[in-house]
Amino acid sequence: MRLLVHVSHPRELWSWDRCRDAIRSLRGRKGFPLADRLGFLAYSLDLSTGELYDELDGRLVERGAGYAETYTVVYFLLDSYGRAPEVQLRGEWFSPRQFPGVSLTSRSYQGLARQVTRGFAADPSLLGPAAQRLGGSPVEVPVGDQAYSIPALPQTPVTIVYNPAGEFPAETHIYFDSSITQVFDSEQAFYLTLLTVKR
């Protein structure tokens, strides 16, 4: 999977050499098991080498041109997650629009929501199996035909709410647990959502 995006900091800052200590500190912490690999979103990260294995494709993620962004985003997120405090899920919905100062990223979140809507417009029943491949499970929401909570990181779920076309056009909404504000800022949460949607 290629991520044609750019984290707002130099790629060199989010290298394995710079991020490995914070990432390795997640072993046995923050919902990860005491193991030599970190598993999330059907990825498996080798804590000794920093290599990323794609369980959906059954192969290592390439480090070559066009794929470096995947490593950059993964290291960026795991480094940030490793440095964030331990939190408990609150069970309260939190919209990306509720982050302070999200005027720029709000449009980006809307773009991700539209990608989900377009991706499942032909057959909305495929959303459930796609979410389940990433460890997601259905959740009940006050509005929305389908909703799935995906554990993008063990203690930081991303919830996708999908309303198929009917009386109104199809639309998708993205939510977090309100505890995310103690873990990630808007930019970090955006990249977590991006990684989830791209999977």
Measure the CA–CA gap between 111 and 190, rounded to whole angstroms. 11
State pLDDT tens for residues 120-177.
988 999 999 999 999 999 998 877 689 999 999 999 999 999 988 777 888 999 999 9
Domain count, the chain: 2
pLDDT of the residue at 29: 95
Instruction: Examine the domain organization and report whether 118 and 192 are in the same domain.
Output: yes
Do 134 and 182 reside in the same domain of the chain?
yes
pLDDT value for 168: 80
Q: Judge whether 6 lies within some domain.
A: no
Do 193 and 100 share a structural domain? yes
| Highest-scoring range by mean pLDDT, 9-18, 55-64, 83-92, 166-175 | 83-92
Q: Could you list the residue range(s) of the whole structural domain that residue 42 is in? A: 11-83
For the segment 14-46, what is each residue's pLDDT rounded down to a tens digit?
889 999 999 999 999 999 999 999 999 999 999
Q: Are residues 97 and 143 both part of a single domain?
A: yes
In a domain, 4, yes or no: no
Point out the domain boundary residue: 83, 105, 125.
Answer: 83
Tokens of 162: 């999908």
Q: Is 31 left (phi over 0), alpha (psi -120 to 50) or beta?
A: left
- Residue 113 makes CB contacts below 8 A (sequence gap 6+) with 171, 172, 173, 174
Indicate whether 99 and 192 sit together in one domain: yes
Degrees to nearest 5, angle at CA 109 with 86 and 94 = 45
Q: What is the pLDDT of residue 2?
A: 45
